[in-house]
Amino acid sequence: MKKSGKPEVLTINGKAELVVHDAASYQKFLDLIDQAEAIEGIRRGLEDRARGKGRPMRIALGSLTLGACPQMIKASL
């Protein structure tokens, strides 16, 4: 498993019941999931923007109350 980086599938009565990864390949798997979720979020945002949904960032940030990070909000305007 460490050499190949491929997970092992453990079976019970011929049915897959458990998948075992080494730590490095499991982390790579988690990183790929994070990347796929980020890409999907960006895709949805671009689709929404193309349909006229949402607000420009300057307007959205301007409507926030200056609370926890007023310097950050002011810097972005």
As a whole number, mean pLDDT of residues 41-60 equals: 89
Quick one: how many helices (H) and strands (E) in the chain?
3, 2
For residues 24-41, give the mean pLDDT. 95
Q: Which DSSP symbol is given to 66?
A: S
Q: Comparing 1-5, 17-21, 54-58, 72-76, which segment has the lowest mean pLDDT?
A: 72-76
Query: Does 52 score more than 80 pLDDT?
Result: yes
Q: Could you tell me the end-to-end alpha-carbon distance of the chain, in angstroms, rounded to an integer?
A: 51
For the chain, what are the domain ranges?
A: 8-76
Q: What is the pLDDT of residues 5-32, one digit of tens each?
A: 789 999 999 999 999 999 988 999 999 9
